[in-house]
């Protein structure tokens, strides 16, 4: 048995971190059993924060038989119906209530998996047993119907000290000869992922090399997690020094940071003035970034990082509290897609370049701002679409299918109104003309 399973908590009290989430989960199951709240629950959070462990522990604490299915491995409607459907409706062999646990629900969000997702939506309507789903990224657009029908409980990455305390206990239980510095390095490298930290400890122990030098060689986890932490600090803080020091730990380059900030500024900042100021600082940072590259004077990048980090952070009038669902850069990810997508991008850039008399390179830099306007204000977006003569396919590329449909619906309605107005004017003119002819004829007869 690997150490992750060997030392997995058996009850909620043993689960470390995320105290509020644990309390919320307890209240939910008690409300479910009493009939107050029969919605399923989604535990959302990064890998290794305790989502599955918490679900299993809840089952044991409340004497429920847990039936677990990994949704990303079993995506078809038929499998979901046969396993989840029957478990959600019946009792166990022992006559106890069943707790259905669906892991990695965000793994079935693709086009090919819509049947499985639809089946889950059907099952939760009639389920007689509690259902817990887990997800790393619950804010994918395709999962919106599921979010609306469920209670979402957000979990956070575990603090380094919390992970360290668990590693110390395991080291003691396993009789490992390891110093605290090595354990601290393992805990820090895990970046909030307890499962990864335990696996790393076991791996180093099996290799017989539990030293700080070996711990330093551990690969840094998932760049996306790292950059999520950085943009969160920049967009949440109002302190200059925190925003600046946050960039020191960034594993990615400044161009990638710019893409992520561009995507998430309008998600965090609520006032138009704040958004405009933040984008202004971002564009100035981009200017220094470009100059540094062209002149091979990389000292200019310090100004770029200051503008992108502290400038964007201080653009807001107040600190926004609460959870914000940050997203991956749309334009950034779309550049990596297949040839047909690149052809669409080429057409978009050509149209922007032609209409605004700028280079395609400059047009590419402005794409993120254009995408944001189209998504946030479809009426203004419709004017821009008409001006640039974008097709529905091109608007869908810049935003998503629903936004594209909404914008083209607005355009069609406007065209319809224009046609109606034209018809009215035409009829008035015809009426005047007809009246004029009638008078002339009467005059002639007289």
Return binding residues for ATP: 45-52
Q: Which residues of 20-35 are buried (b: 16+ CB within 10 A; e: fewer)?
A: ebbebbeebbeebeee
φ, ψ (nearest 5 deg) of residue 52: -70, -40
Tokens in use for 360?
């395609």
Q: What distances in angstroms separate CA 237 from CA 178, 245, 249, 320, one per listed residue?
A: 37, 12, 16, 9
The residues, any chain, with a CB within 8 Å of residue 417's CB and separated by 6 or more, are none
Report the C-alpha gap between 98 and 120 in whole angstroms.
Answer: 16
Report the C-alpha gap between 49 and 26 in whole angstroms.
Answer: 17
User: Is residue 76 within 8 Å of residue 107, measured between CB atoms?
Assistant: no
User: Is residue 62 within 8 Å of residue 26, measured between CB atoms?
Assistant: no
DSSP states along 104-167: -GGGG-SGGGHHHHHHHHHHHHH-SS-EEEEES-TT-GGGHHHHHTSEEEE--PPPHHHHHHHH
Q: Are strands 41-44 and 131-135 parallel, antiparallel or unpaired?
A: parallel
Residue in the block written with tokens 């993120």: 368
Report the C-alpha gap between 34 and 31 in whole angstroms.
Answer: 5
- The H or E element that residue 64 is part of is none
Report the C-alpha gap between 212 and 179 in whole angstroms.
Answer: 8
Report the C-alpha gap between 368 and 257 in whole angstroms.
Answer: 13
Q: Per the annotation, where are the binding residues?
A: 45-52
Report the C-alpha gap between 47 and 395 in whole angstroms.
Answer: 33
Residue in the block written with tokens 């956070």: 156
Residue ranges of the alpha helices (H) in 237-318?
Answer: 240-246, 254-268, 272-295, 301-306, 312-313
Tokens in use for 153?
């409980």
């Amino acid at each position: 048995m690997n150490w992750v399973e060997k030392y997995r908590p058996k009850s909620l009290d043993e689960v470390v971190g995320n105290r509020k989430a644990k309390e919320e989960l307890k209240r939910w199951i008690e409300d479910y059993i009493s009939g107050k709240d029969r919605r399923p629950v989604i535990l959302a959070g990064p890998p290794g924060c305790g989502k599955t462990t918490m679900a299993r522990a809840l089952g044991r604490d409340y004497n429920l038989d847990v039936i677990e299915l990994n949704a990303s491995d079993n995506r078809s409607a038929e499998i979901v119906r046969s396993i989840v459907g029957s478990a959600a409706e019946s009792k166990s062999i022992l006559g106890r209530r069943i707790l259905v646990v669906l892991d990695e629900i965000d793994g079935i969000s693709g086009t090919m998996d819509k049947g499985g997702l639809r089946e889950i939506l059907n099952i939760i309507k009639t389920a007689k047993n509690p259902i817990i789903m887990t997800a790393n990224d619950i804010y994918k657009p395709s999962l919106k119907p599921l979010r609306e029908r469920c209670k979402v409980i957000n979990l956070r990455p575990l603090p380094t000290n919390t992970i360290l305390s668990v590693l110390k206990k395991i080291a003691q239980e396993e009789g490992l000869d390891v110093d605290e510095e090595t354990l601290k390095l393992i805990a820090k490298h895990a970046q909030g992922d307890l499962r990864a930290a335990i696996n790393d400890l076991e791996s180093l122990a099996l290799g017989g090399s539990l030293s700080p030098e070996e711990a330093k060689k551990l690969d840094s986890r998932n760049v996306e997690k790292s950059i999520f932490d950085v943009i969160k600090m920049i967009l949440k803080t109002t302190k200059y020094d925190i925003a600046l020091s946050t960039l020191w730990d960034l594993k990615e380059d400044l161009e990638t940071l710019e893409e992520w900030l561009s995507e998430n500024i309008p998600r965090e900042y609520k006032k138009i003035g704040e958004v405009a100021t933040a984008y202004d600082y971002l564009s100035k940072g981009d200017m220094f970034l470009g100059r540094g590259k062209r002149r091979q004077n990389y000292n200019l990048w310090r100004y770029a990082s200051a503008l992108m980090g502290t400038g964007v952070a201080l653009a807001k009038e107040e600190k926004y509290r609460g959870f914000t669902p940050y997203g991956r850069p749309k334009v950034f990810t779309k550049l990596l897609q297949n040839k047909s997508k690149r052809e669409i991008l080429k057409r978009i850039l050509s149209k922007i370049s032609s209409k605004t008399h700028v280079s395609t390179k400059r047009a590419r830099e402005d794409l993120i701002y254009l995408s944001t306007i189209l998504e946030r204000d479809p009426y203004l977006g419709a004017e821009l679409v008409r001006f640039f003569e974008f097709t529905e396919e091109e608007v869908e590329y810049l935003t998503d299918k629903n936004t594209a449909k909404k914008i083209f619906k607005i355009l069609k309605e406007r065209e319809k109104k224009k046609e109606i107005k034209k018809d009215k004017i035409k009829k008035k003119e015809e009426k005047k003309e007809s009246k004029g002819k009638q008078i002339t004829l009467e005059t002639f007869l007289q």
